[in-house]
Amino acid sequence: MKDCFSFRFFESDQDKKSSLVIFFSTEISLNSAVKTLRMDVEESLVPKNVYIMTMEPFTAAFLDIKKDESFNSEFDSFVGKIKDKLICLFIKSDGGIVNLDANCSVPDDLKNAILQTGMISLFKKHKGIITSSPSYHFVKPSGDHADKFIRASNLLVSSIEVTFLAISLLPYLKADLKRIYVDTSSISYLVTVAVKLCGMFSINSPSIESFESYAVFNQNYDFVEGEDSLVFISATTSGSLAKSLKQKHSFNSNQIVTLLHLNLPNDQIGIFDVLPAVEQITSKKEAECEFCKRGSKIIRISGDQFLPETPKHELLVIKKTDFNKQREQFFKEFVTKKLLGWNTTSGRQVDSREHFYIDVEKVLTTSLPNFSEKLDKAINRYISRHVNTVISLDDTGSEALSKRIRNYFGQDSENVSWLKLGEVNEERLKNTASVVVVAGAITSGRKLLAVSRDLRCIPKPASILYLVGFSKLPTIESLGQLKKDLCQGGHEFVVLRECPVPRVKENTKTAWDWEIEELTKWNDPLSGYDDELPELLTERVNFLTSEANDPHKLFLPTPDGNELKLRHTFVFWSDLGLASDHLLNTTQSDVYWTIQSVLHDLRLGSDKKGLASTYHTTLISPVCFDRYNDGVIQACLLRAAKPVELNYAVDSECSRQMTDVIYSVISNWNNPQGEATLEFLLALWTGRLRLLDIHLKELLKPLPGEILMKIPAEIRFILKQIANQNKTE
């Protein structure tokens, strides 16, 4: 459980660099603050400022912060001088926010930016918007039909986060308040926290009661409507509930406050505008509903908790059109040339391994006219003869790119300092003119950020060029933010090729981690297992535990021990114009990069187009394993998918379909249709792929002895382990 809540925000619309807020609801923990700061900087680069916030009774802790040497040291290494970058804020009982150092209230625009952005952060984190799909839509308590609805209770999952949200309610709580009405009991917790924070009701706290939203108009509900009453509405997209309350009861506008709102009328009070986190919501009367006209089914939102009916589980069929033109251009240039690797050491440190590895050194020695042309243009355009320092990151790809640039200088290269990242220090840089920072490939941009901090000592007129061969940052937004952070002061940031891929961190559990975890149990002499690991699986354990990175051996082989390979065609490469002799050079890594890219784009897509739905479970359709029936493609899908995307146990029909696919594959283990038999069985064994028990038992039915003896030992072994797991579960 976290004892602080943190998020980034922009202090003004003109800012290009965001600041960090770390909020404590009680005592400030410096250890938690340092840990949060470190993790945030690693993910989002250096903030403009750091704001530490707490409630007024705990402000004494601020006196210790700037005296703590350890905290000062950590802060300086990650952000900068604490006196320039750290701002201490405390929240008063009336909701005002005070700058402790300046001893004055913060401006309203800054206060609103902090509170609003914090809410948006929680709204996105906890999926405050529930989204439908083309096959169904919602009927809200008001009776309107909509494609989305806001559910405030989704945000109320952590006491610290709820305390932060409650700050915005404090200005509406007055000392004479006796009763508070809420439209759903799910926000009573938030209101209760706000009442406790204000500290005005130590003896007689106001009562809190739910009137169940629009249901109140269908029953004889006894409101007390005096000035000592207050109404909180959880969320609205039109303001219709507040309007009805004023029309049918004698509440005035100042007595009705909406927490989360969109399109709120000017005469109503709202606290949090969710527009930055929500696309336009279509909400219509039943007679005007376009969704109904298209045959979309309805799910009613009802009850005091605003719970939707049980959702359906959709299946995603991956199509060729999911492989966009940008992806086609990238893979046309780089596949089948053994440039796209897997699990490969990228730097001097042996433990520095990249799940998605680009061999930049080999790229520079391979005939790639388009890439070479763009590199030459970038050098000619951005690198001047006045450059006297070139810094390369500490990996072979960056060093190779640096050597290529050195050739551009010719004899003048002797007048340039050619440094590696580990050789950079202030003494070498303080008199430099212009600097080029070279990175072969970047995954997060953290190292470039580290260099940018070291380069603060260079003279102000000096320019910096960050030249990157390949960006693997997962989103356009993350790459854009990195560019903003690095280009402050008029510097340049140039990326030759972009290939967004999922971020695989040290703590990310990949399909190979699941595999190693299961297989290595059999190497433990104390495990107590009676069965002996078959030869093929023993070789696999040895391969994986030797820090393997062979691009031809990402997957288990066929049951007879052959590598999985593309057979004839690959639909995603059909428009790349690859010659048949090039296809012979295809590696498993090439195919894995392709499939992972398709799934990554689908996850980033909208709710209606891919795997990104916030409401229901979207599974990779079993049909995909029939359409893409090369064993290597099936293995890529099984390894690249997230377990939740392969959890067919959530729906009986989905589980039935996937069981039929797996049964067909296993039955054809000795021909091309069953090439990926071991991969399917491994996915079941590790639990990354799940079926309903009734269907799993079908796969595990005992086979006649004469058939069983013909099946390879590896298949028999894994089937037995799955059966044993099923018994224990």
What tens digit of pLDDT does each residue of 498-507 get?
A: 999 998 877 6
- Among 207, 195, 98, 115, residue whose Cα is nearest residue 161: 115
**Sequence ranges of the chain with CATH classification 3.40.50.2020:** 339-498
Average pLDDT over residues 674-681: 97
SS3 sequence, 630-672? CHHHHHHHHHHCCHHHHEHHHCHHHHHHHHHHHHHHHHCCCCH
Taking domain 5-106, whether its CATH number is 2.60.120 is answered by: no
Token representation of residue 527: 């495990």
Give the highest mean pLDDT range of 42-46, 309-313, 316-320, 454-458.
316-320
- The rounded distance, in Å, linking the Cα atoms of 551 and 561 is 17
What one-letter code names the amino acid at 697? K
pLDDT at 213: 83
Pairing relationship of beta strands 104-105 and 269-273 according to DSSP bridges: unpaired
pLDDT in tens, 5-19: 999 999 988 888 999
pLDDT at 526: 64
Q: Are 296 and 136 in contact (CB under 8 A)?
A: yes
Q: How wide is the angle at C-alpha 677 spanned by C-alphas 648 and 602, nearest 5°?
A: 45
Q: Are 574 and 320 in contact (CB under 8 A)?
A: yes
Q: How sure is the predictor about 701, in pLDDT bands with cuts at 50, 70 and 90?
A: confident
What is the rounded (10 degree) CA torsion for 453, 455, 456, 461? -150
- Among 424, 429, 448, residue whose Cα is nearest residue 438: 448
Q: How far is CA 268 from the centre of its chain?
A: 35
Q: What is the DSSP letter of 520?
A: G
- The rounded distance, in Å, linking the Cα atoms of 354 and 593 is 13
Average pLDDT over residues 466-482: 95
Q: Which residue has the tokens 């959709």?
A: 314
- Among 646, 627, 632, residue whose Cα is nearest residue 677: 632
Q: Which residue has the tokens 């079993």?
A: 622
Helix (H) or strand (E) holding 190: helix 188-198
Q: How sure is the predictor about 115, in pLDDT bands with cuts at 50, 70 and 90?
A: very high
Does 326 have pLDDT greater than 50?
yes
Does residue 635 or residue 703 have the better pLDDT? 635
pLDDT at 689: 95
pLDDT in tens, 374-398: 999 999 998 887 788 999 998 999 9
pTM: 0.63
Q: Are 47 and 8 in contact (CB under 8 A)?
A: yes
Q: How wide is the angle at C-alpha 49 spanned by C-alphas 47 and 51, nearest 5°?
A: 115
pLDDT at 294: 64
- The rounded distance, in Å, linking the Cα atoms of 53 and 57 is 12
pLDDT at 638: 97
pLDDT at 319: 93
pLDDT at 614: 46
- The rounded distance, in Å, linking the Cα atoms of 402 and 415 is 15
Does 307 have pLDDT greater than 70?
no
Q: Which residue has the tokens 């590199």?
A: 375
pLDDT at 591: 97
Q: Rounded to the nearest 5°, which phi and psi values hold at 310?
A: -60, 125
pLDDT at 569: 79
pLDDT at 231: 95
Average pLDDT over residues 157-171: 95
Average pLDDT over residues 126-152: 82
Does 304 have pLDDT greater than 70?
no
Q: What is the DSSP letter of 350?
A: T
Q: Is the dihedral of CA 123, 126, 128, 129 positive or negative?
A: positive
pLDDT in tens, 201-257: 767 889 999 988 887 777 778 888 889 999 999 998 888 889 989 988 889 999 999
Identify the weakest region by mean pLDDT among 30-34, 57-61, 83-87, 370-374.
57-61
pLDDT at 63: 79
SS3 sequence, 438-460? EEEEECCCHHHHHHHHHHHHCCC
Taking domain 339-498, whether its CATH number is 1.20.840.10 is answered by: no
Residue 200: CB atoms within 10 Å: 17
Q: Are 17 and 37 in contact (CB under 8 A)?
A: no
Token representation of residue 410: 């010719």
CATH number of the domain located at residue range(s) 129-308 in this protein:
3.40.50
Identify the weakest region by mean pLDDT among 216-220, 342-346, 379-383, 711-715.
216-220
Average pLDDT over residues 309-323: 79
pLDDT at 325: 94
Average pLDDT over residues 520-537: 79
pLDDT at 549: 87
Q: How sure is the predictor about 613, in pLDDT bands with cuts at 50, 70 and 90?
A: low
